[in-house]
Structure 1
């Protein structure tokens, strides 16, 4: 049976608004100094007053590579890319491993011999990045509301790195006008957003959450066993 998590968001703000959805960046571990992980807008949507929308997602993860339109930083758009399904390591079974290669200035990945640790997948880089690398990114992709794989977290790695990524089923919703793909400052999002965490606290073991923003702007989150 496929595991599905559902988040129902309700706008009781008293006015129409725009919202962005984010996912917690994966934990990064590497063969060298781990680069910073950036949070990307997963998708954004307009919600009228008293309107609602549902987010449905599973434990499907994608190894993603792409490019940034400028030096990666909050406000920079991440666009062109490629992704492949990534199976996480489980017990003694290694997680999927991917080799990244630049072809005619386009980032690509290909599956390699699995070697990732439990709950992780791995992306390996070669020696084809410019130094410093301010263009090419790797990260985590998830299927968005349009049925397309979109980056939810990214990082600009160095040459000759083996980076393991461990995802977490934790999400954020925030009033925002940013478009999908834009890099957002993690601290500002986590400080102001509704937090939906299916891995710990009240959300552990749950599969359905109802998020409401009231007329003061405050978010409340309730968890249930199922939809």
Structure 2
């Protein structure tokens, strides 16, 4: 199992908050192509000068569902719903049941595309129900945190392929909050462990506000 550590060191000279989010997964479906939104994964609040915090990433992956009272858009925080443990190595598939009760049925293997998992939706809901599907990862609490979400569509199968790349930016966010990448600070640090033997990335914000990353 791949395990990566992401550390954020605040050398800016000011108390700062930070957010870690992931590159959205590749999502395909047989119906309309959904818009994929990244969600705040790990958040570090008010780190003092010369302070730091960290989060650990593993291959553990969850299919997740939630609801939104209005529409899925930047700033929305997904605070309720459910998840199902899936395995991209086993090409897991999770059926969604609108219910009631609402949630995922039994997860099966060998259904999704290679290196992916899928969410299978029946025709027991409509757009008015406001259901949201996505991918969640273990983060800073025992409840998996959504890292990418999209509006659910009935009678469709969504194949979700994770992309293991991360980003760090300063700013105050809530875990699960939908992020508008175009509106976030233009000063973003990308983290990519692909092809690297190192498993720890230390992101440093310097006194001029710029970010840099060191792998170790």
TM (normalized to structure 2)? 0.91
Q: In the alignment, which residue of structure 1 is the partner of 2:65? A: 65
- Of 186, 189, 201, 1:209 maps to 201
Per-residue CA deviation, residues 80-99 of structure 1 (Å, 9 max, x unaligned), is 1111111114xxxx500111
1:145-164 matches, within 5 Å, as 145-164=140-159
Residues 28, 165 of structure 1: 8 Å contact kept:
yes
Partner-residue secondary structure (3-state), 1:104: coil
Post-superposition offset of 1:65: 1.0
Q: Which runs of 5+ in 1 are unaligned?
A: none
In structure 2, the CA distance between the partners of 1:209 and 1:198, relative to structure 1 (3 Å rule), is same
Q: In the alignment, which residue of structure 2 is the partner of 1:24? A: 23
Q: In the alignment, which residue of structure 1 is the partner of 2:40? A: 41
Per-residue CA deviation, residues 7-50 of structure 1 (Å, 9 max, x unaligned), is 12100010101111111111101112220111111132221111
Q: In the alignment, which residue of structure 1 is the partner of 2:163? A: 168
Residues 70, 134 of structure 1: 8 Å contact kept:
no
Count of aligned pairs: 215
Measured in 1, the distance between the counterparts of 2:206 and 2:123 equals 51
Q: In the alignment, which residue of structure 1 is the partner of 2:211? A: 219
Measured in 1, the distance between the counterparts of 2:202 and 2:184 equals 19
Q: In the alignment, which residue of structure 1 is the partner of 2:107? A: 111
Q: In the alignment, which residue of structure 1 is the partner of 2:81? A: 81
Measured in 2, the distance between the counterparts of 1:178 and 1:84 equals 25
CA RMSD of aligned residues (A): 1.9
Measured in 2, the distance between the counterparts of 1:105 and 1:195 equals 40
- Of 117, 125, 135, 1:121 maps to 117
Q: In proportion to residue count, which structure has more strand?
A: 1
In structure 2, the CA distance between the partners of 1:175 and 1:80, relative to structure 1 (3 Å rule), is same
Task: Give every structure 1 segment of 4 or more consecutive aligned residues whose post-TM-superposition deviation is greater than 4 Å.
Answer: none
- Of 115, 137, 143, 2:138 maps to 143
Residues 133, 157 of structure 1: 8 Å contact kept:
no
Q: Which runs of 5+ in 2 are unaligned?
A: none
